[in-house]
Amino acid sequence: MLIVLDRKHDTPLVEHIRALLQQKYNCESHLIGENGRVIAVPGDTAHVDIEVFENIDGVKSVDRVEQPYKLASRRNKDRTEITLRPGTLLGSRAHLIVMAGPCSIESPGQMDETAAMVKEAGVSVLRGGAFKPRTGPYSFNGMGEDGLKLLRKAGEKYGMATISEAMNEAQIDLVAAYADIVQIGARNMQNYDLLRKAGACRKPVMLKRGLSATLEEFLLAAEYILAGGNHQVILCERGIRTFEEEVRFTLCLGSLPALREMTHLPIVVDPSHCAGRARWVKDTALAGIAAGADGLIIEIHPRPEEALSDGPQSLDREQWTDTMHGIRAVAAAVKRTVL
Ligand code: PEP
Ligand code: MN
């Protein structure tokens, strides 16, 4: 970490800062540069609150240099590859994983029909929400454990890995008992107890970007899971809140190359929740692949008009087939095969 002062040779200020570093954070420091304006703090400074120093009168800037997300950082690792089930590898340069299924699991028939649609398209991960974070308390909030049973049954029947969301700590174990991947939703990205619990889980966890989270906050949230010993973390860019109201959320496409540079973790794009309308999902998905996503997660439904949640953005059979054609074409253009 580097602390740059406004003035040259301000000995009392330098002493004050160095004492604070030593006493509060147990950090050694030394003065560097000819004019005595830069205090260098070598080693790990992830525990240092840089705002404390930024707010000191006479400090011009503070640069952590080292990333505060040590485990998520790309510094020591190029890519993390996660085997979701034998033969289904997420995060490899050569492959693209597509996850699809209903927003909510609604009934045995709906789950089976949707799983068949996913399987027919030749992709390998089935999604389905059993615990639903809904904006209002009166909306359908999922089938709970009964839904997870239907998801597992469909996954086994069609030979696909499964993913479902956990909204609280108790649900992490429950979802992990039934599904291959545990999803943490956008609204829970900064639920730190939930992240710690996900860190203790031994199944892959897909963390969705918070509605107004910066990429640094996103990676720090992932860091909680990694720090708990769970190294199978998947990031999901699902759009952020901006002033724009035509699309449901604004897909931050630039986050793909940026995250690729910042972290080794696999990155999935969710074109459904950002587009908000089924007819916009395909092009959004294709843009995600072109920007370097390792995977996509897409909401589909045999009869979107009957869906109990997110029907307007769910692809029907025809849209799903067409979207998969586009996905295969763009994947080929970026030299990836769809698993
Ligand atoms: C979902 O995947 O159905 C969902 C609720 O997503 P998000 O947390 O991104 O809103
Ligand atoms: Mn949804």
CATH of the domain at 207: 3.20.20.70
Q: Which pLDDT band, with edges at 50, 70 and 90, does 7 fall under? A: confident
Sign of the C-alpha dihedral computed for residues 319, 321, 324 and 330 taken in this order: negative
Q: Do 205 and 331 sit in the same domain of this protein?
A: yes
Q: Do 87 and 206 sit in the same domain of this protein?
A: yes
Q: Do 56 and 91 sit in the same domain of this protein?
A: no
Range of the domain at 90: 82-338
Of 35, 63, 91, the one marking the end of a domain is 63
Q: Residues with beta carbon inside 6 Å of ligand 1?
A: 103, 129, 133, 185-187, 208, 238, 270, 273
Q: Hey, what are 278's tokens?
A: 């089924």
Residues 45-59 pLDDT 10s: 989 999 999 999 999
Atom of ligand 1 nearest to the CA of 188: 8
User: pTM for the complete prediction?
Assistant: 0.91
Sign of the C-alpha dihedral computed for residues 72, 218, 103 and 271 taken in this order: negative
Q: Measure 272 CA to ligand 1 centroid, in angstroms.
A: 9
Q: Which pLDDT band, with edges at 50, 70 and 90, does 229 fall under? A: very high
Q: Do 268 and 314 sit in the same domain of this protein?
A: yes
CA dist., res. 85 & res. 334, Å (int)? 24
Read off the CATH number of the domain in which 38 is found. 3.30.70
Q: Do 187 and 233 sit in the same domain of this protein?
A: yes
Q: How many domains does the chain have?
A: 2
Answer yes or no: is pLDDT of 288 > 80. yes
Q: Measure 206 CA to ligand 1 centroid, in angstroms.
A: 11
> Residue 251 domain-assigned?
yes
